[in-house]
Amino acid sequence: MEFKSLKNIESSFRQIRLFGIVFLSLCTVVTVWSVWNSYRFAEKQREKIYVLDNGKSLMLALSQDLSQNRPAEAREHVRRFHELFFTLSPEKSAIEHNVKRALLLADKSVYHYYSDFAEKGYYNRIIAGNINQVLKVDSVVCDFNAYPYRAVTYATQKIIRQSNVTERSLVTTCRLLNASRSDDNPNGFTIEGFTIIENKDLQTIILSDHGYNIEGEAVKVAQKNENETGRQHPILFVKGLNESHDLQVSGAPISYEDLVEAYYKLMDGAASDDCFAYKEGDQRERRYLLYKYLGEDHMVEYVQTGYAGDESTLVPTGRVFDAK
């Protein structure tokens, strides 16, 4: 009787052990399955791009493969950095804001350039001279065959002053490292080894706001007598893209109205001789508003058909403009 009881106890222990092993196995399977599914869910969420529609509705755009977007993100990262670092306005706070955002996208190689520019007084000259600097990125070429990725940027700078506009070429190179995404770095890259390869003048446009066709003491006499007619004769310097020759003087009857179209032609590579439709010797009627210095509240309209420096060709139209 005692032997049979011992046998039943041993059998019960075996059953309990079997049930325990089965239970632990099921728990392990459930745990592994849960972890695996969580990982798959996280991977699928990373392959989704959320796009704001004018800041109102939220649309979901699915990407086939996140890696397919990296080349586009790399080019956008480089483009964003250049626009922030090289676009400057004559305000200290605006310069510091843009440069600070640019430095968050790169390593110390960019900070060295910033320190060098600051030490040489570049930013102070931008502010003191009321200069605007605008950058347009023409292209970004990336090599993804080796890591870190290499990028070469081709851009055009416009340095806009009150009296002239200078266009400069800008070619830079850098390497791209993968980084964590953030609000300050949405594309997930860091620029390292940033180097400026080329930065040279392409073309320059110089324009004075007014001028006199007389010299020396005659200018003082004209100003004393409030003779302001000579101011319709400013000087204009134009240099086309990569253009190089001796200085040429033209008496073409151009006007301020022609400047915008001329700027576009120059940006497209036109030579200085081809940026204006009117040539020397052409007859053209131009409009001119005569007013005294610091007396802009009273203007008299003239038209001129001859040489700008010849005051005898100024004919009043009878129109007068008075500020109210």
Average pLDDT over the chain, rounded to whole? 81
Q: Are 222 and 186 part of one and the same domain?
A: no
**What does the pLDDT read at residue 18?**
78
Residue 51, domain member (yes or no): no
Q: Are 22 and 134 part of one and the same domain?
A: no
Residue 54, domain member (yes or no): no
Residue 167, domain member (yes or no): yes
Q: Are 198 and 255 part of one and the same domain?
A: no
Q: In angstroms, rounded to a whole number, what is the distance separating the alpha carbons of residues 300 and 317?
A: 8
Q: In angstroms, rounded to a whole number, what is the distance separating the alpha carbons of residues 226 and 244?
A: 41
Q: Are 188 and 141 part of one and the same domain?
A: yes
Q: Are 255 and 174 part of one and the same domain?
A: no
Q: Are 197 and 231 part of one and the same domain?
A: no
Q: Are 228 and 307 part of one and the same domain?
A: yes
**What does the pLDDT read at residue 252?**
85
Residue pLDDT, tens place only, 259-290: 888 888 877 778 888 888 888 888 888 888 87
Tell the residue number behind the tokens 């990407």, with chain if given.
63
Q: Are 142 and 223 part of one and the same domain?
A: no
Residue pLDDT, tens place only, 178-217: 998 888 999 999 999 999 999 987 777 766 655 554 455 5
| Domain boundary pick from 202, 217, 239 | 202
DSSP 294: T
Averaged over 147-168, what is the pLDDT? 88
Residue pLDDT, tens place only, 115-133: 999 999 999 999 988 899 9
Residue 257, domain member (yes or no): yes
For the chain, the domain total comes to 3
**What does the pLDDT read at residue 57?**
45
Residue of higher predicted confidence among 227 and 183: 183
Residue 83: HSE in the Cβ half-sphere, 13 Å Cα cutoff: 11
Which of 57-61, 90-94, 242-246 is predicted with the least confidence, judged by mean pLDDT? 57-61
Residue pLDDT, tens place only, 53-91: 555 444 444 444 556 788 899 999 999 999 999 999 999
Residue 30 is part of which domain span?
Answer: 2-46
| Domain boundary pick from 172, 202, 232 | 202
What's the predicted TM-score (pTM) here?
0.55
Q: Are 38 and 86 part of one and the same domain?
A: no
| Domain boundary pick from 202, 230, 252 | 202
Residue 217: HSE in the Cβ half-sphere, 13 Å Cα cutoff: 0
Name the pLDDT band for 323 (thresholds 50, 70, 90): confident
Name the pLDDT band for 26 (thresholds 50, 70, 90): confident
β-sheet with 295-304: strand ranges across: 286-292, 295-304, 314-322
Name the pLDDT band for 113 (thresholds 50, 70, 90): very high
Q: Are 198 and 73 part of one and the same domain?
A: yes
Residue 291, domain member (yes or no): yes
Q: Are 179 and 239 part of one and the same domain?
A: no
Residue 63, domain member (yes or no): no
Q: Of 159, 253, 276, 269, nearest to 206 (Cα)?
A: 159
Q: Are 276 and 182 part of one and the same domain?
A: no
Residue 223, domain member (yes or no): yes
DSSP string, 25-78: HHHHHHHHHHHHHHHHHHHHHHTEEEEEETTTEEEEEE-S-GGGGHHHHHHHHH
Residue 57, domain member (yes or no): no
